[in-house]
Structure 1
């Protein structure tokens, strides 16, 4: 599984005119399941996303995870958005191949599992809508963006 995480001051996802998820300071994570991924892989990636130290400590160094974004124990919010295009094979030609991405039914199952696992471990989790045409807006803080991957 892949997650592209971005440290944000705010982020929102819409489906049409409906807001499906909205956060203040925290992380926006675009999440993709790849062929052969499992719940165990999703658990690894959830742990990585929640534990990745991308927030500044008192010295301004990236030392704090989402659960402690201000050094005083305040948890940041997490906005999870499914994005199968992260698995694109772009090695040849001018058109991406999505063969590496999990089939839609597996992608949905693993994204739903990822969301449930994140909610079990973190108090502030919002989401987009799997398979929908979404509009995502964000204010990237830094900018700080990391590409994370977990595998079997």
Structure 2
């Protein structure tokens, strides 16, 4: 992050974020829906996280909000084109409130690779099963995987 973490509170919030990501992935797998209350919780918990790491209102928090709003707008176009679910779009925007722009870019790249693998596996499975139902990809799994990756970088790479 831009600032250093103060005490254990920020780590507790990161653990809650990780649990929320796991829940989002599980819900998306089960029902192909990421609940609005979960995405809203991820977004709202960014506020105490900002405080816990000492972000300033200007330019830090304003930048977090701008990146989140930009991603919401861009991925809403993917939603409108039927390429992405609404819960996935909201989850990305909520995560953007937690991560600095470069970490968010890293998340998007990892998400894209993981989503490609997930899509390929599901397409093969769908064809082998000869299912007549339309294929729905639980992209929340790829988003959560990328989120775990970026969070683990923060934990495992203490010297960066």
Q: Given the two structures, how large is their TM-score scaled by the length of structure 2?
A: 0.27
| Higher RCO structure (Cα 8 Å, ≥6 apart) | 1
TM-score (norm 1): 0.28
Q: Which has the higher helix share?
A: 2
**Higher percent of residues as strand:** 1
